[in-house]
Each structure stands twice: as C-alpha cells, then as structure tokens.
Amino acid sequence: MSIALVVYKYTIFAALKKVMHMKLAVVGATGLVGQEILKVVDERQFPFDELLLVASARNVGKEIRFQGKAYTIIGMEEAVKRAPDIAIFSAGGSTSLEWAPRFAEMGTIVIDNSSAWRMDPDKKLVVPEVNGHVLRIDDRIIANPNCSTIQMVMVLAPLHVKYKLKRIVVSTYQSVTGTGKDAVQQLMDERNGVTGPKVYPHPIDFNALPHIDVFQDNGYTKEEMKMVKETHKILGDSTIGVTATTVRIPTMGGHSESVNVEFHSEYDLQEVRSLLADTPGVVVQDDVKNNVYPMPIYTQGKDEVFVGRLRRDESQPRTLNMWIVADNLRKGAATNAVQIAQFLKERSLVY
C-alpha cells in the first residue's frame, strides 16, 4: 500500500470518527507508570469520552477510582475489541510485542513505554519537544524512549543544534522506581529490617549497583546500550560518540545524570545557560554560590527536566560538564507518553 493511500485511508477514518467519541486506553493501569499516566491525564486535562483501564488477568474485575468515578479493569482481548483511539502501554516488552500490533490493526495508535519497539526502524522514537515533527498520520505504534535518554536529550538537543555534539560520556544514578513496585518494596523492607523478596542481586539500601538490566557481550548493560542507540535515533545523528555507565541507587524521586559533552564548535558558557533557560521543559538550576543545583528529592512529581553544575571541562577544549535530574516516572515515562498523545491530537494526527 502506498504512503499516499495510507494517509488518505487514515484521513477518511479520522473524519468519520469525528461523529464518535474519543476512547483512551491505559494498558498496565495498575503499575507505577500506569498510575502516573492517569495522574498526568488528569492534570493535563487530556480529553476523552471513554476511558479503558487494562491490566493483566489477575487484576481484571478490580476497580480503580479516577476523577471521582469507579472504573472496572478489563483484559487485553476486551480492550482490543473496543478499539480505543489511543492506547498508552506500560505493561512490559513481551506484552507490547504481542498486543500492540493487534491494537494497531483496529486503528488504535499505541504509545508504548517498553523497549520493544524503540529500535525498530519502522517505528518512531519520540520526545515531542525534540523530534515530534517526525510523527505522521499513519504511525500506529510509537515508542516512548528510555527514561534516562529522555532527560538527557531534552537538555542536549538545543546544544546539538547550536554547537553539534561530538561525544557524550554519561553516568546515571537511577531511582528504584525505575524497576517497579517490587524494587520499591525491597528498598523499604531493607530500610525497615524486614526480610522479603529481592529483585536486585544485592542489597539496594545504603548501596549503589552499577548494574541496570542485563549485561551484554561487550561488557555494557542493556540499559547503557539503550542510551547509546536511542540518543542516535532521537537526534538523528549516528556520528555522535556516546558511552554510558548506569547505576541504581536507593532514591525514590527520580534519576540523576553526570554528563560530559564535547562539541565540534566552541561554546560560550553564558550562552549555554541562556539556550537551556529558553528551552521548553528544561529548568536551569545553577547557582553554586547558594547551593542551588538539581536534586531528585525536589524533582519528584514534576514534569520538567532540571540541569545545573554547568561548567567547562578544563582537561580538553570544547567540552562541557553538567548535572541533569528528572522524575523518571513523569517526564521519563508517563508525561512524555501523554505529551505524545497531546501532540498527535493538536496536529489532527488522531481522532
């Protein structure tokens, strides 16, 4: 089928659906990210006429209250049959690989939080403020990037436009919330002296684990390689050198990153601050004389990406050090997914 025919098909489909109501599905509604998606939908007043809350079989039939109304959780088969306009997935890679295509066949736009589709050359990997322009009306499965990648490219994208990135060295310090409810429970159990199930191979409280996701043959973890590959895809530039070390730490508020970036062009530090201060979704906190810099304890529940400790790398030219912090459940997952849905709706790419 030609691109022109596909666009025509979905244009007609969208026009016909204007007489119908908007169906929004949240798949994985009982998880940490799923619950955060509902908060963001409410806060941003994303419009819907019908809300479908979808979860695994063990949760089907349970109720979740949202905006003063009780919603009964439904299963995947039922959700597919009801053909939502948009389905925001946060249910894991295997679930997405199995079910996202089935939703897409029904005309649903799937916005997926897992890593299942991120590196698929036929799927868009989107941070709306950075590369939302790549979205088209025939995109049925859209990938939400890795949380650590999102916050980094939010800061680096405007600098790439101005100075062109040459090399990125990033070390992350990531919250246990990135692993999920069971990881949070492990941390709290350890903190309270309770023996319970473990999701990490070592204690997490009072510790730092240089081990996020599985190790690859090259000695890097899958999380570290995600940051490399996703940065290239989002910024549309595979010439950028990227190397990462990802670390899990016992925090709850969000992910932190130490980023060292080398540019092709010389930069002015004050100009960098001004560029970032003018970037939507980025907040500069960089007043070291008064101990002002980003910290995860203060980013929890916020949608912005915070950057500070901006300083020249004195060991080599055209190189900048910075510290980036964001709530991984918000901009790193739920907020970015809802923003994609908003972007689609505002540009008449859905409904």
Assess if residue 12 is contained within a domain: yes
Residues 297 and 189 in one domain: yes
Are 155 and 284 in contact by the 8 Å Cβ rule? The answer is no
Residues 177 and 133 in one domain: no
Residue 351, pLDDT score: 58
Residue 349, pLDDT score: 87
Cα 351 from Cα 280, distance rounded (Å): 26
Cα 85 from Cα 181, distance rounded (Å): 29
Q: Which amino acid is at 17?
A: K
Assess if residue 52 is contained within a domain: yes
Residues 169 and 38 in one domain: no
Residues 116 and 204 in one domain: no
Three-state secondary structure of 44-78 = CCCCCCEEEEECCHHHCCCEEEECCEEEECECHHH
Residue 350, pLDDT score: 79
Residue whose structure tokens are 């025939």: 138
Residues 15 and 137 in one domain: yes
pLDDT means per 10 residues, the chain with 351 residues, are 51 48 94 95 96 95 95 96 97 95 97 96 97 96 98 98 98 96 96 96 97 97 98 98 98 94 98 98 98 96 97 98 97 97 91 58
Assess if residue 155 is contained within a domain: yes
Are 322 and 313 in contact by the 8 Å Cβ rule? The answer is no
CATH (domain of 219): 3.30.360.10
Q: Residue 268 is part of which domain span?
A: 148-328
| Choice among 21, 147, 232, 264 that is catalytic | 147
Residues 216 and 139 in one domain: no
Are 34 and 41 in contact by the 8 Å Cβ rule? The answer is no
Assess if residue 16 is contained within a domain: yes
Domain count, the chain: 2
Residues 17 and 73 in one domain: yes
Residues 284 and 306 in one domain: yes
Closest to 163 measured CA to CA, from 232, 240, 266: 266
| Choice among 133, 160, 255, 264 that is catalytic | 255
Total H helices, total E strands in the chain: 11, 14
Assess if residue 286 is contained within a domain: yes
Per the annotation, the verdict on 232 as an active-site residue is: no
Residue 253, pLDDT score: 80
Residue 58 CB neighbour total at 10 angstroms: 9
Residues 182 and 305 in one domain: yes
Assess if residue 158 is contained within a domain: yes
Phi, psi torsion values for 149, nearest 5 degrees: -70, -40
Residue 2, pLDDT score: 55
Residues 186 and 121 in one domain: no
Residues 181 and 309 in one domain: yes
Residue 18, pLDDT score: 46
Assess if residue 351 is contained within a domain: no
Closest to 96 measured CA to CA, from 61, 60, 120, 72: 120
Assess if residue 241 is contained within a domain: yes
CB-based contacts of 347: which residues, under 8 Å, 6+ apart?
135
Residues 101 and 205 in one domain: no
* pTM summary value: 0.92
Would you mind telling me the total number of residues written for the chain in this entry? Answer: 351
Per the annotation, the verdict on 211 as an active-site residue is: no
Q: Which amino acid is at 269?
A: L
CATH (domain of 83): 3.40.50.720
Burial of 174 (0-12, 13-18, 19+ CB in 10 A): buried
